[in-house]
């Protein structure tokens, strides 16, 4: 073997016309794992050809032996079998010898695998570029197109083959092209990606694209172009704007509702929190919504002492039964004032066992003050009635419906002309009234027995009181309907 064959990195194999190996250099030993001493004299087919290909190899070798051509420098790529049974991709150049054949072989396995990986990556990238919903394009430093993907073609109704080599101003309005060139220049100058919102006209509408541009560089780092990736953001922005408007209207509505809207939660550990509070909290208790969300105890601590037990009982009952929560009570505000509230809420249970109420607290201070004033007025009126009445009495409905006297207060003589009226109060009044007033008196008594407040006014004859005003008010004593009457002398009052 020559020194050149020993030194070369190419494997050298030589076979005779019988197909047996008769030369084998060190590079071949490294490639196939057989030493020269082991392979000399062995059949090539049994040594280097994978078993599945041996029949085809034998037939081809036989045809070559009888062929007339010299078979000079035949190049081929075939699978080769390593000593351990693995296969390698071998590229070989075959030449004929007077009494056989020789070949130089190179291992192309890694190269082929790299080519396959490159092809797979190229296929993947092309598939992404062609099926993405983003517009992708590349331009050189002069602004001429180098590449556009399928989405770019669809959006601008252009053909990539016709577009490459042309400038953007040829396919879009100049004002849009100028903005694109300006952003391209920013990416080139900064040497990094630049993202901007760009508006593109399509028919009668303007669509908004979020476009990212970045410089394209050669292996030596020099910039030769700019790639842009544009994503249509129009629908998202419109939806976001609509959602924002809806949320704004909702908050405006919630915050303009009288009272304080809230969402109140009690977790399984018993912790009480407000998860939402409307702006009405300032009018209800003087605290801002965020203060109550941070600490629900600020409001709960204002419940007046006399109403605290009723409040707690109402919350517990609603939590246990999931019936609507209702409560009326008062708060003692930080400034010392008292306000009366009416609260309602609808509870529901969460998956973790917590109970949540959606509800509202309404300020009933004005109504409560009016109610207290009316009650005070009624008490004052009753007191005044007792002090101004000439004669007062209490009667119950008898078996025939006539009122029967049960108690009297004051002197009846100025009204009824007698020291003590009979049990039948109605008969006593009819005795001193003009017969024309009897029906009106009877109607007033019947209304009082029916639960209403009634009044009667008429002339009396033969008594000290000349003009009578009789006020009849319904009442209840031990579950029985009673009539309380008060007689006034209109001439005196």
- Global confidence as pTM: 0.41
Section 31-40 average pLDDT: 93
Share of the chain above pLDDT 70, in %: 94
Q: What value, to the nearest 5°, has the Cα angle with vertex 150 and ends 148 and 151?
A: 95
β-pair type (454-459, 480-489): unpaired
Using 50, 70 and 90 to split pLDDT, how confident is the model at 347? very high
Mean pLDDT for the stretch of residues 104-120:
85
Instruction: Please state, in angstroms and as integers, the Cα–Cα distance from residue 121 to each residue in 41, 115, 227, following that order.
Output: 45, 10, 19
Q: Determine which of 22-36, 175-189, 348-362 has the lowest per-residue pLDDT on average.
A: 175-189
252-269 residue pLDDT tens: 666 666 788 999 999 999
**Cβ distance 76 to 91 under 8 Å?**
yes
Give the pLDDT band (50/70/90) at residue 386: low
Give the domain 3-112 fold. Beta-Lactamase (3.30.450)
- Where exactly are the structural domains of the chain? 3-112, 132-236, 259-368, 389-489
Ramachandran area for residue 382 (φ above 0: left; ψ -120 to 50: alpha; else beta): alpha
* CA–CA separation, 473 and 444 (whole Å): 10
The answer on pLDDT for 132 being more than 80 is: yes
Report the CATH number of the 389-489 domain: 3.30.450.20
pLDDT, position 252: 67
CA distances 140 to 154, 208, 209, 216, Å, are: 22, 24, 22, 9
pLDDT at 42: 93
Mean pLDDT of the 337-361 span: 92
The sign of the dihedral angle between the CA atoms of 248, 249, 255, 260 is negative
- pLDDT, residue 30, reads 92
pLDDT value at position 7?
A: 85
Residue 112 pLDDT level (bands cut at 50, 70, 90): confident
Residue 34: per-residue pLDDT: 93
Closest alpha carbon to 202 in 230, 173, 180: 173
* Per-residue pLDDT reduced to its tens digit, 287-343: 999 999 999 999 989 999 999 999 999 999 999 999 999 999 999 988 888 899 999
Question: Is 389-489 the same fold as 132-236?
Answer: yes
**Where is pLDDT greater, at 29 or 390?**
29
Lowest mean pLDDT among 14-18, 94-98, 161-165: 161-165
The CATH number of the structural domain formed by 259-368 is 3.30.450.20
Confidence of residue 114 (pLDDT cuts 50, 70, 90): confident
**pLDDT of 70 over the 60 cut:** no
| pLDDT score of 121 more than 90 | no
pLDDT greater than 90 at residue 463? no
Please tell me the distance from the alpha carbon of residue 14 to that of residue 97, in angstroms, as a whole number: 9
Classify domain 132-236 by CATH architecture.
2-Layer Sandwich (3.30)
| DSSP assigned state of 324 | P
Look-up of token digits 């007046």: 304
Query: Per mean pLDDT, which range of 67-76, 182-191, 280-289, 388-397 is the poorest?
Result: 67-76
pLDDT of residue 400: 67
Residue with tokens 């060139």: 181
Summarize pLDDT for 173-208 with one digit per residue, the tens. Answer: 777 778 888 888 888 888 899 898 888 777 678 888
CA distance 217 to 330: 75
Given the DSSP bridges, would you call strands 338-349 and 355-363 parallel, antiparallel or unpaired? antiparallel
């Amino acid at each position: 073997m020559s020194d050149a064959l020993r030194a070369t990195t190419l494997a050298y194999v030589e076979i005779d016309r019988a197909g047996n190996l008769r030369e084998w250099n060190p590079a071949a030993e490294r490639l196939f794992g057989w030493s020269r001493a082991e392979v000399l004299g062995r059949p090539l087919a049994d040594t280097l050809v994978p078993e599945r290909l041996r029949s085809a190899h034998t037939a081809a070798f036989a045809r070559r032996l009888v062929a007339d051509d010299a078979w000079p420098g035949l190049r081929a790529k075939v699978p080769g079998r390593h000593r351990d049974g693995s296969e390698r991709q071998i590229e070989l150049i075959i030449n004929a010898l007077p009494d056989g054949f020789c070949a130089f072989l190179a291992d192309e396995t890694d190269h082929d695998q790299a080519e396959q990986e490159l092809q797979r990556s190229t296929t993947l990238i092309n598939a992404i570029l062609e099926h993405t919903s983003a517009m992708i394009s590349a331009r050189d430093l002069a602004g001429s197109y180098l590449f556009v993907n399928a989405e770019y073609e669809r959006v601008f109704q252009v053909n990539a083959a016709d577009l490459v080599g042309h400038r953007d101003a040829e396919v879009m309005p100049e004002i849009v092209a100028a903005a694109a060139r300006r952003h391209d220049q920013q990416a080139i100058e900064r040497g990094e990606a630049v993202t901007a919102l760009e508006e593109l006209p399509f028919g009668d509408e303007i669509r908004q694209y979020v476009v990212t541009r970045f410089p394209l560089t050669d292996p030596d780092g020099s910039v030769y172009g700019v790639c842009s990736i544009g994503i249509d953001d129009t629908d998202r922005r419109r939806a976001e704007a609509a959602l924002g408007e809806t949320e704004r209207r909702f908050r405006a509505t919630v915050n303009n509702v009288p009272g304080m809207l809230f969402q109140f939660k009690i977790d399984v550990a018993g912790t009480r929190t407000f998860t939402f509070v409307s702006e009405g909290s300032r009018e209800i208790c003087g605290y801002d919504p965020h203060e109550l969300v941070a600490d629900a105890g600020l409001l709960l601590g204002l419940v007046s002492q006399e109403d605290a037990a009723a409040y707690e009982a109402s919350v517990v009952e609603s939590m246990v039964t999931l019936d609507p929560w209702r409560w009326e009570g008062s708060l003692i505000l930080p400034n010392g004032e008292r306000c009366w509230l009416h609260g309602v809420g609808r509870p529901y249970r969460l998956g973790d066992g917590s109970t949540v109420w959606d509800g509202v607290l309404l300020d009933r201070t004005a109504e409560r003050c009016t109610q207290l004033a009316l009650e005070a007025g009624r008490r004052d009126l009753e007191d005044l009635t007792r002090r101004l009445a000439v004669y007062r009495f209490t009667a119950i409905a008898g078996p025939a419906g006539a009122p029967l006297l049960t108690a009297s207060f004051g002197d009846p003589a100025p009204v009824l002309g007698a020291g003590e009226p009979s049990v039948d109060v109605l008969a006593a009044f009819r005795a001193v009234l003009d017969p024309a007033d009897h029906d009106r008196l009877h109607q007033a008594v019947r209304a009082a027995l029916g639960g209403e407040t009634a009044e009667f006014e008429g002339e009396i004859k033969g008594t000290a009181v000349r003009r009578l005003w009789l006020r009849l008010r319904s009442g209840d004593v031990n579950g029985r309907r009673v009539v309380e009457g008060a007689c006034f002398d209109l001439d005196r009052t």
